[in-house]
Amino acid sequence: MGRIDDTVEEIRRMETHSSSVVAVKAARALTELVERGYANLDDYERALEQNSGALRRANPSHASLYTTQREVVDSVVGQATDLEEAERLTEAAVERVVDRVENGKDRAAASAAETFDDGEVLLTHDYSSTLLGAIERATPETSLTVYVTEARPRFLGRKLARRLTETEGVEVHLGVDGAAGYLLQNRPVDRVLVGMDCIVDGVLYNRIGTFPIAAVAGEFDVPLHVVGSSAKVIEDGFVFENEFRPPSEVSLEPIDDVSIENPAYDATPARLVDTVITDTGRFAPE
């Protein structure tokens, strides 16, 4: 297999990696086409579209993979007058999208850090490297209390809680997912702040368990803010495909006559999200 084929297989196995890591790996894989020595522009553009399509299909739930691949293809196909120009456009587009993805998270974290108030109490769910970066930027000058839910069944929330204990100025509490309603009702939570897998047509797709937390937050008038790279925000052209994780994550032993449901993500309606914070600004989804 060629290197792009190898990357496709690797991306299919990258279920636990952040979407930014997947998007960067896939974008860089396209530069292999420049080295193949195509005979003419038509063959090159056809190969670019085919290989980009294979990379996108390898992990269809990752919006940033979709947006970066589409940008590279759209920057090349129909834009070049000869093969050499197409190759230059490909390399430039790959560098551009990689820079935006890699630096977009940092810029989004910096933007979110500006929103913290000293003594603020947050509730969050799952593990978001962008959210973690925002908290690390804001502290220790700003003291925070953070309630983290486990994010069952894979418990990535526990990972975030452990990381937060290494951050000066943060008081960390860890609770089970089912306790989110209790915490929002009985603890002085100022807002819910979560990361995102993507936002498509105003709908937030994030780790399973986000939707019920958002619904309870709405019941108790606790604002819900979302932080992430603008590469994960798509207005149209992308259809989110959920991942269904192995049943063994829920029950190690099969249970007779029981079908185990283990979706990776859920969908939170725009009306439950107050503010989205990205590297390009803040907005309310519609």
Which residues are known to be catalytic? 197
Whole-angstrom Cα distance, residue 280 to residue 270? 19
Residue 114, CB-side half-sphere exposure with 13 Å CA sphere: 10
If DSSP codes are grouped into helix, strand and coil, which group holds residue 172? strand
Q: List b or e across 68-104, with b for residues whose CB sees 16 or more CB atoms inside 10 angstroms.
A: bbbbbbebbbeebeebeebbebbeebbeebbebbeeb
Residue 174, CB-side half-sphere exposure with 13 Å CA sphere: 16
Which residues neighbour 286 within 8 Å (Cβ) at sequence distance 6 or greater? 202, 270
Burial label for 239, CB within 10 Å (0-12, 13-18, 19+), is exposed
Residue 38, CB-side half-sphere exposure with 13 Å CA sphere: 19
Q: Which tokens sit at 42?
A: 């038509």
Whole-angstrom Cα distance, residue 103 to residue 17? 17
